[in-house]
Structure 1
Amino acid sequence: MERAKMAEESLETAAEHERILREIESTDTACIGPTLRSVYDGEEHGRFMEKLETRIRNHDREIEKMCNFHYQGFVDSITELLKVRGEAQKLKNQVTDTNRKLQHEGKELVIAMEELKQCRLQQRNISATVDKLMLCLPVLEMYSKLRDQMKTKRHYPALKTLEHLEHTYLPQVRNKRCFYV
């Protein structure tokens, strides 16, 4: 009978210790004082400490399991991150190299465009000069005709050519600079 009574008290004490442990785990640390006082007031202080140690070991095992479970994922993530970092560095180097090449090619293109601009300007100037000389060509032909007529002593046709030159062709080229040498 006494054994049954002790077993019953032991069960009650174990249940009380379990309740106290749950209260400690779930309660704010400011309110833990009264809970701990009830442990020290009772006679089962040593047993409570054993239960507490067991609970701590159980939690440590759970934490270790969780850490082991997530450790490989962490290692895999770090490995992947290092690979991404390496790839990012390669990509950065490629972008830098491409930028350098584009800068170099761009400079060459700007130089070629400037040369093309100069060629186009020269082409326009030559074309304008040819157009102006083409306007002067009839005057030069008439002048050549006039000289031939004067050499051959055909004075009347030379006077007619001179009059025609003076009234028809020279007014067309009067403002042209090529005639004022």
Structure 2
Amino acid sequence: AKRKKEAEIDRICSRHYGDFLTSVSEMLKLRGAASNLTTLVTDVHRKFNTTGSDLVQVVNELNAIQTERENARKLLQSTLQCKKISALMVKTKEQIESDDHYNAMRTIESIQTEAKLLQVKSMTACLDSWLPIAINKLLYGARTEADGFVADIREHVEVLGSTILSRQAHLNVGNATPNINNDSTAGQSQTAQSGRRGSG
């Protein structure tokens, strides 16, 4: 009975020892897999850090490009606006020189409207010095033209007045001559009638 009991104990121990060995073997395998997994995670983390740094760099570069593009857009807009105002300035000069004062005034109004939206300090300073000169030239030209127009009107009025007076005088002389003839005829008729009465 004792041997039987020892054999049973030995059998049970052998079985559990085998299970223990199997468990230890599996644990060693898991340890190796965990070690490989740790290495893999470390490698992934390293790659992610590298890729993340590259991604941050790319994002920063994109932001810089976006900023440059916005600055270029503003610069282009300002350049086109300055070009438009410069063309209007040249047009105003030509209109003033050709005595087209009304259209020159309208063009200056357009320049003043565009200048309110202008954000280029150098162009704004140029307009601040150019506009008063152009307006003074426009006023001087318009005043000179008006003075000439008034002088022409006066000259024509004087000529017209002289012509009217001359024609009126001529008409008065023409009307006076028939009256003199009528008066002479009437006098002769009265003399003849008086002579007839005396003879009778």
TM range (shorter): 0.5 to 0.7
Counterpart residue identity of residue 166, structure 1: I
Q: Which has the higher Rg, Structure 1 or Structure 2?
A: 2
Residue identity in the other structure for 2:21 = V
| Gapped regions of structure 1 (runs ≥ 5) | 1-53
Equivalent residue for 2:97, pick from 141, 150, 154: 154
- 2:56 and 2:64 mapped to 1: Cα distance? 12
Match in the other structure for 1:166? 108
> Of the candidates 17, 25, 49, which is equivalent to residue 71 of structure 1?
17
Please name the residue that 1:94 is paired with: 40
Structure 1 residue 161: deviation in Å? 5.6
Indicate which of 124, 129, 132 corresponds to 2:78. 132
Superposition deviation, residue 119 in structure 1: 0.9
Which residue does the alignment assign to 2:53?
A: 107
Separation in 2, partners of 1:173, 1:134: 13
Decide which of 118, 125, 129 is 1:176's aligned counterpart: 118
Tell whether the 8 Å contact from 2:115 to 2:124 is kept in structure 1 after alignment: no
Q: Corresponding residue for 1:121? A: 67
TM-score (norm 2): 0.53
User: How far apart are the structure 1 equivalents of 2:114 and 2:34?
Assistant: 73
Deviations 1:125-147 (A, max 9, x none): 21123223333332111223345
How many angstroms apart in 2 are the aligned matches of 1:174 and 1:130? 18
Task: Tell me if structure 1 keeps the 8 A contact 2:92–2:108.
Answer: no
Q: RCO higher in 1 or 2 (8 Å CA, sep ≥ 6)? A: 2
Contact 1:139/1:165 (8 A) holds in 2: no
Count, aligned residues: 123
Alpha carbons 2:85, 2:111 under 8 Å: kept: yes
Unaligned runs of 5+ in 2: 126-200
Which moves more between the two structures, 99-108 or 166-175?
A: 166-175
Aligned-partner SS, 2:46:
helix
Measured in 2, the distance between the counterparts of 1:166 and 1:144 equals 11
